[in-house]
Structure 1
């Protein structure tokens, strides 16, 4: 079954991107937003396991007057009068791996991929993107933008990125309608700047290179913007507490705080880049509160920090995802933003392209992250090959879309559609509004867009079809969500 065809023919809902001033994520602003009228339509889009439904539009329902639900019924409640954080987007990362694979595709498949991700009508309308400052593990090799030992950065050049990465980003921006929020993250400083003289396997930035490394970010931003790629902001360091076998670099909370306030922040301002957003941490939810406490409680560091980024890999230790830590940060520092900067399904295997739990991991994370106050959500690689790479240390993973470079085929995984239940229907500038469920079998979140349209995303985590009441203020519709499914209700 060609699910790509289903997506294109079934959907015509395009949302207009807009920008509003963010509100504090921890408490409602209590502004009255638009509530549906009696008889107003509700469009339902569904993706379900063991069916052909992939972002498929079903019968349009209409709101009736609600009645008191019983305890035996299952309900989703939306209060449009309580709104929270402002949404900035959903998207994925432009890695060297993605760009290298993209370049191997025939032109028609390249266009299909761009449409699938970035077109707001025929695709899922990505509006957010991350890229790397020189290399990460996802690419054919390690590299930097300078010659080894060049402390003065006289040899700085992004020529390496001109072959694959820059063309992909430019085409994606065009496919997105000319605007895409792009931010960048480093995995490691050049080897000579580090305590272990190696871009891989951890190590720390040496004090004598603090200024040079801070200048490196500014040169990257200016070089990309000279190419017509606006850079919204940067994160200071990808995964600063993980010694990886690939590009990595360690900062304690105090070290990241001091680098930000004494070097990166002031140098960005001096170089005319004070309007760029700086994101701290960029690692898992487990230690996020300690990093936030250390940096945000220091006024001289906090003034340079837009917010804090996080990943979903804290489950490596055997536990569950730790969304309560996000609530803690949002409540403790309501003037700082939460941004999901990376998540991917690890341990690639071709026989798991359609592995449904991979998609459910996205749905679970996205709903819980947004309900905790997260303003944007960034997947990892937008495209990988039939081996889950290229990756120069064999850290092969899944992406929402894979390309079989032997045949030119694009393979759409369920994760692509689960992400699309958010990115297609929620536009930048949307406000999250109060949403709760009466049974833990379901998860739900809602956002109201600037045009007054609201999207409520509901996820069924159970193996059974569930009939539920969807109640918005004093109106309701009755519907059923299939087992192991995601629905978006647009009204």
Structure 2
């Protein structure tokens, strides 16, 4: 099935607080669509009309701003080595343009929650660690010097563009080879028992060294894709092993070093077995007390309800979407809109995609397999940056749903329309609607006895902020 993307944002001129009746007059509309050629285009204002009782046969999105659910932490992408190298090799004007397009909260997508990696991953130009001396249990030779060339300068520029409103969480792909049972960073393997404390200390060293560079860590995941044996950096933790490592080593070590406020997340892989991983950790109170939430990805099946089940069983814990590798196609943009909407409706507190930018070969990547496109690509020969359709679709979430916004009830009377809605801290509402159908559809948004009628293109998406 060929897919397209379409997005509309609606902003009401008159705002109100929860529980107060709104004076709904008009909304501002922005559109992204393949069929119409619009990319976050400003489509002007549209008026609300009085409508006491909607017809159940008319496609309608219903919004209620009197009830609130989870608060949003943020949206963003990943500062991988590949992204940083690509960025660093661009001319200065192109670098400035990219940073503004992604991180400026007024002129750009306003990314405010981003991921980075603890030493190398598959999207690095080489494998490396911060502790290259074998057997260095005290980490006397620990150094982040490698990151000073590309990654840290890129991060600093992004922080500045965001108005210092950018938070970070970090994930390791593998401990150093000398800490592992297979004596290499690739092909899975496990952490040697004798190095569990050293590996916990490694996290602390990393947080401290990045903090010295003006980059505080908001969060950590214990292990990227903890059950995946890969031909690149990878390490296996069963649910029991991850729980025990958090309970006996990583959690206590973070707390002992004054890092109890760092948001520690488990799992960091697909939705399929997310409940089993969460149950194992949260049913052990001595492990659970150190864990903020569960991180997850989208790579094997949808399984959207599994995320909700984790929240319903453990409502005191958070769920955060942490990695989405994607192409730069309209089909990818359509998948992106669908996944973000479903995950937010299933209690995700944020959504972070994978590489912020890649080069014209979709790299660099030491693991190989380069092909296709990314959310943003750069041609290093010409210095030209291409912002692909997913960039604009994602902007309809990140630009209008602000940190601290709370999800509110948002339902659909048509199976082909899915939607999510958030109440921002300034009283505005941001609603995102996606048309799953291959035909243009007349539809309306209904709230407090008034409706705003619009048309959504085939397989399109709408964001409404009012």
TM-score (norm 1): 0.90
Contact 2:122 2:366 in 1 (8 A): yes
Instruction: Note closer, same or farther for the CA distance 1:485–1:479 as it changes in structure 2 (3 Å cut).
Output: same
Cα drift, residue 467 of structure 1: 0.7
Q: Following TM superposition, by how much is the alpha carbon of 1:398 offset from its aligned partner in structure 2, in angstroms? A: 3.9
> Among residues 310, 320, 326, which one is paired with 2:307 in the alignment?
326
- Any conservation in 1 of the 2:433–2:463 contact (CA below 8 Å)? yes
**2-structure distance, mates of 1:35, 1:462:** 33
**Could you say which residue in structure 2 is the equivalent of 1:309?**
295
By how many angstroms is 1:359 displaced? 0.4
Aligned twin of 1:361: 335
Q: Quote the offset at 1:439 in angstroms.
A: 1.2
* Matching residue of 1:438: 413
Partner of 1:378: 352
Cα deviation per residue 1:93-147 (whole Å; 9 max; x = unaligned)?
0000000000110100000000000011111111111000000000100000012
Runs of 4+ in 1 over 3 A off after TM superposition: 10-13, 31-35, 395-398
For the aligned residue pairs, the C-alpha RMSD in angstroms reads 1.7
The residue number in structure 2 matching 1:267 is 253
Alpha-carbon distance in structure 2 between the residues aligned to 1:462 and 1:269: 50
How many Å separate the matches in 2 of 1:33 and 1:144? 53
Instruction: Note if contact 1:343-1:378 (Cα within 8 Å) is conserved in structure 2.
Output: yes
Aligned partners of 2:9 and 2:463 also within 8 Å: no
Residues 34 and 452 in structure 1, CA contact (< 8 A), matched pair in contact too: no
Q: Secondary structure at the match of 2:354?
A: strand
Partner of 2:381: 406
Bigger mean CA deviation after superposition, 263-272 or 54-63? 54-63
Given the alignment of the two structures, is residue 342 of structure 1 paired with residue 317 of structure 2, yes or no?
no
What is the alpha-carbon distance in structure 2 between the residues aligned to residue 184 and residue 399 of structure 1? Answer: 21
CA distance in 2, matches of 1:330, 1:130: 22
Cross-structure match for 1:484: 459
Residues in 2 aligned to 1:398 and 1:272: alpha-carbon distance in whole angstroms: 42
Give the 3 Å change call, closer, same or farther, for CA 308–466 of structure 1 in structure 2: same
Who is 1:162 aligned against? Answer: 148
Q: Is the 8 A contact 1:126 1:176 kept in 2?
A: yes
CA gap of 1:35–1:106, structure 2 versus 1, over 3 A, is farther
What secondary structure does 2:64 align onto?
strand
Q: In the TM superposition, what is the alpha-carbon distance from 1:400 to its structure 2 partner?
A: 1.3
Question: For the Cα contact (< 8 Å) 1:343–1:379, is it kept in 2?
Answer: yes
Alpha-carbon distance, 1:11 to partner: 10
In structure 1, the residue matched to 2:281 is 295
User: For the structure 1 residues 430 and 341, does the alpha-carbon distance in structure 2 shift closer, same or farther, using more than 3 Å as the test?
Assistant: same
Unpaired runs of at least 5, structure 2? 1-6, 12-16
1:136 to 110, 121, 146: 121
TM-score, with length taken from structure 2: 0.95
Gaps of 5+ in 1: 1-6, 14-30, 316-320, 347-352
